[in-house]
Amino acid sequence: MRTLIHFIHVSLDGRICGPNGEFDWPRMGPELSAHSVALNERIDTLLYGRVVWGWMSSYWPTADEDSDSPHDKAYAPVWRATHKVVVSRTLESVDQPRTDLIRDDVHARIQALKEQPGKDIVLMGGAALAADLTEAGLVDELHIGVHPVILGGEHAVLPTPSRQNFDLVDSQVYDERVVLSTYRRV
């Protein structure tokens, strides 16, 4: 069975974006960028909730042309080539190649996706979706990159209503500033 990985950037105070939805604070240095690109060798599907999908689909299709960031130049072609799945009850369609939309029966559809042949799946954002899939036992690994910033606000990394147990399986420091810890469901 394929592994569903939730890869998320988080602040020291456990927030995934600023109080007004800002996501301008993660710093993708060369080591963290290399880790992110290497993670894509392990996966063949990116999973998004509606809000994060809106950000990603408006940025990554041309990021390598529009940005001077080495990370953006390296990741944009990978993003375009990777199969994407968007979970949304409100979107009617998605307009990017190699992208599917799940509107209902989310748990069953994600379980079926995990059972298909292929590489692993990475959930790249969407706090509500991540919490829901974690609560349902569908998230197998958490890759949490803690950045040295305090954001405040309400956007907690995993607002789940019940206890979820994971074991720490790895922890690395990237670019002398970001601690990336990997946890696996017990």
pLDDT at residue 178 above 90?
yes
In a domain, 110, yes or no: yes
Task: Give percent of the chain above pLDDT 70.
Answer: 100
pLDDT at residue 83 above 80?
yes
Going 12 to 66 to 99 to 39, the CA torsion angle's sign is negative
DSSP code, position 156:
B
Range of the domain at 99: 8-180
β partners of residue 146: 10, 179
In a domain, 3, yes or no: no
In a domain, 173, yes or no: yes
74-81 mean pLDDT: 94
Distance CA 107, CA 84 (A): 17
Write out pLDDT tens, residues 104-150.
Answer: 999 999 999 999 999 999 999 788 999 999 999 999 999 999 999 99
Q: How far is CA 69 from CA 27, 148, 149, 162, 174, in A?
A: 11, 20, 21, 39, 17
What confidence tier does 161 reach under pLDDT thresholds 50, 70, 90?
confident
Task: Give percent of the chain above pLDDT 90.
Answer: 84
Going 151 to 53 to 78 to 66, the CA torsion angle's sign is negative
Write out pLDDT tens, residues 29-48.
Answer: 999 989 988 899 999 999 99
Angle at 55 between CA 46 and CA 144, to 5 degrees: 55
In a domain, 141, yes or no: yes
pLDDT at residue 159 above 90?
no
pLDDT at residue 87 above 80?
yes
pTM of the prediction? 0.93
In a domain, 137, yes or no: yes
pLDDT at residue 162 above 90?
no
In a domain, 186, yes or no: no
Write out pLDDT tens, residues 95-105.
Answer: 999 999 999 99
Q: What is the CATH number of the domain that holds 102?
A: 3.40.430.10
- Total domains present in the chain: 1
In a domain, 185, yes or no: no
In a domain, 22, yes or no: yes
Token pair in block for residue 2: 């394929």
pLDDT for residue 37: 82
pLDDT for residue 120: 98
pLDDT at residue 160 above 90?
no
Q: Are 139 and 115 in contact (CB under 8 A)?
A: no
Q: Are 175 and 27 in contact (CB under 8 A)?
A: yes
Angle at 101 between CA 98 and CA 105, to 5 degrees: 140
